[in-house]
Structure 1
């Protein structure tokens, strides 16, 4: 029975498990991380193809509106679930790992209600924007596209929450496949069929179709989550548990919503300074750079519940071991991808547009890759701080570093063009990641970077932490 709970493809984890059965071995965790990395790689490829097929079925103006709607819905979705995608990863393993299924189920029910309330409120806000007369003066479809964006924002936000809720229960494959693979694999042939039937879609129709297919693909996940939560035995949460949930949620809301918002702000800032053509090339280089961190992101999908469960049960050496191992594995792959950028960067950029295959843009891509590689070497610092009570320190760090980073981006982009933008954006990533490692090591005695792997700090850091508390 315990093996079923710890399996990465378990659909339901409502069976009351002993704490040690929630913890995966290093080998099992490596397999789960490898599976998640493959899923994320497939997701990246399918995402690219999906946008290509949408562009095929729309004209230039309509695809521009669709892109804006998708970007707006994506950004809104990060805010609208009020940090609950990380809250479930924090609290479910924490309580279930300590054999307190009543509290774990109570927290899950509370997270679902908070997420739905946030999704409803923010989605309604987008619809209200659609009725503003000045905003739609130049766009006749303004109201229709805003309402369609409302549906897409709800779908994206809910799919993210459901996936994280299932990941918290170690149902990794069932959590990731519907949104990352199945949704896009279903959407692509539908848009291709529309193209060959010479159906020119409007942005509104394409947005509704994208949202509807996503909701359909995650319907089984939604049913399983609701079924398990309704059937589960739940005890009333204590006042202390409610206070902790509220405090942690506020911090997690900030750290999960701030990075995507600032990423969009950087893109808009570069566009304002260099113009749309240069901004498009920067956007392509930035998105291509994310291939560097793809392996670590995949590993993180399996790592998050393990970090929370082990840390809150007092097993800090295990947390040290799995985070530094993740940093090492992610860094090796990131370095390999960076080498591909060095030798084949111009060919990669030319896939998007031959005009992007210039020496300047290849240097820009390499600089982005260096920043991402150093960030990967720092390990899973973001999820470590989110899940171990350092979310407020992480939020302050992100605000300070990124505000300074935006200022640097404005200056360096103006002076050096795309290379300046890449230097400042990559520098921002490096500074906050390295600083986060120091904060984690000082505050909880865990070094999640590759230095923790090579220095064997899984034991040293734990002893340092215990001495500091004694």
Structure 2
């Protein structure tokens, strides 16, 4: 990667120059590649959970699910928003040929991310020693220790992935975590199952975390090496102030949506017990097939939004966001249809106890909420990369606070179906409101309706006609 930092001409030839503006055609190809990787990742994630379920009993799988959800929850906060910060600032600085500032920003982000990961890891360890915590779980402290390692691994792997993506090294950013780790983990658990080894939740969590750290080790070495070797300039006081302001905003908006999703799983576990938590965990992970295509497109889209918006080309931002929404929504509808037809069969692969009519309805409801969110387009990254992170943060706090309360109440009243109704409603509500914020504040409609209205919609449709 250092070649495109030190030699701009070579970087231009290879198409990996930091901050380089991609045409819609090139962006579509990058989005397609990322979507394929995300599709493979989703399939591997599915198989990974199946492999874990093969070597654990129902209780241990429920504890593993809770540990994974807890580690994910902590990892979202522990990065202090730095994975989004590099996606915001690197394309902005590099696009203005200020690579000294871009490299200085990367070094600062790495230090802040590592400090956050270390601090939050200590918090998990401390939770393991609280007097009343986990009194009904004999392996509580060991499970907290395993969760600590997994939280660090998940957080750091997310940061390194975003750092590579910010520099347009899309495949190098996605493969270690999305493909290599999951494939290796499946092989390890499958081998354990073949040898009839029964694992505890603690052992399974430690193994998952260790293999993730090994998978991203080459990526880590390259990132640290290139950052240390690169010519860095000190950030100006204005840049430092902007870094601090944006960090506080994106910390909240990048942590809250996924973190509250994990918090919902933990809340259901506390109310209904670990067995039900395992079923909800599986349904939640399966539901993510709906947002798969849009998430894949977003991997390539994020640096392009930052580059185009801060260079004043808002029509380009409108075109790429509405096209992303349209492509993602079309695939989301197909995934939802798959859930309607084969949902029980899919869930029963993990455990026959999960393939019930109740869990089938739960999966469909979650899928409907995710489909509505997908139709709203890349609202989250659009707002956080265009200076509206504080508005998004306030929206997420308000909607998700109400959502968690609704999840608790409806789970008590209706069980898993109630949990699904509240979770799906929360997702749909904040995504729809975010679209209205984007239209009002920056004049961009990132939803599928942005493709059908306005001058930029005409340009987007003309692009599709030309490609056809």
What is the TM-score normalised by the length of structure 2? Answer: 0.89
Structure 1 residue 60, shift from structure 2 partner:
4.8
Compared with structure 1, are the counterparts of its residues 77 and 60 closer, same or farther at alpha carbon in structure 2 (3 Å cutoff)? Answer: same
Alignment equivalent of 1:265, drawn from 260, 263, 266: 263
CA distance in 1, matches of 2:259, 2:164: 25
Asked whether 1:208 is paired with 2:180, we answer: no
Match of 2:463 in 1: none
1:163-202 superposed matches below 5 A: 163-202=161-200
What is the TM-score normalised by the length of structure 1? Answer: 0.89
Match of 1:466 in 2: none
CA distance in 1, matches of 2:30, 2:347: 32
CA distance in 1, matches of 2:431, 2:438: 11
1:416-431 superposed matches below 5 A: 416-431=414-429
Contact in 2 for aligned 1:96/1:104 (Cα 8 Å): yes
Compared with structure 1, are the counterparts of its residues 161 and 191 closer, same or farther at alpha carbon in structure 2 (3 Å cutoff)? Answer: same
Contact in 2 for aligned 1:446/1:458 (Cα 8 Å): no
CA distance in 2, matches of 1:380, 1:239: 31
Unaligned runs of 5+ in 1: 462-470
Match of 1:244 in 2: 242
Structure 1 residue 202, shift from structure 2 partner:
4.0
Asked whether 1:29 is paired with 2:27, we answer: yes
Contact in 2 for aligned 1:155/1:214 (Cα 8 Å): yes
Contact in 2 for aligned 1:33/1:299 (Cα 8 Å): yes
Match of 1:327 in 2: 325
Alignment equivalent of 2:389, drawn from 363, 384, 391: 391
CA distance in 2, matches of 1:202, 1:24: 48
CA distance in 2, matches of 1:70, 1:124: 17
Contact in 2 for aligned 1:7/1:170 (Cα 8 Å): no
1:75-94 superposed matches below 5 A: 75-94=73-92
Compared with structure 1, are the counterparts of its residues 101 and 426 closer, same or farther at alpha carbon in structure 2 (3 Å cutoff)? Answer: same
Match of 1:373 in 2: 371
Unaligned runs of 5+ in 2: 1-7, 460-468
Structure 1 residue 99, shift from structure 2 partner:
0.9
Contact in 2 for aligned 1:5/1:170 (Cα 8 Å): no
The residue matched to 1:446 in structure 2 has which SS? coil
Match of 2:466 in 1: none
Structure 1 residue 328, shift from structure 2 partner:
0.5
CA distance in 1, matches of 2:348, 2:143: 32
- Which stretch shifts more, 397-406 or 450-459? 450-459
Compared with structure 1, are the counterparts of its residues 103 and 362 closer, same or farther at alpha carbon in structure 2 (3 Å cutoff)? Answer: same
Compared with structure 1, are the counterparts of its residues 323 and 2 closer, same or farther at alpha carbon in structure 2 (3 Å cutoff)? Answer: farther
Alignment equivalent of 1:312, drawn from 310, 313, 320: 310
The residue matched to 2:377 in structure 1 has which SS? coil
Contact in 2 for aligned 1:7/1:171 (Cα 8 Å): no
Task: Give the alignment's Cα RMSD to 1 decimal.
Answer: 2.5
- Provide, for residues 34-86 of structure 1, a one-character-per-residue CA deviation record: whole Å limited to 9, x for no partner: 11111111112212222332333345554444333322222111111101010
Structure 1 residue 324, shift from structure 2 partner:
0.4
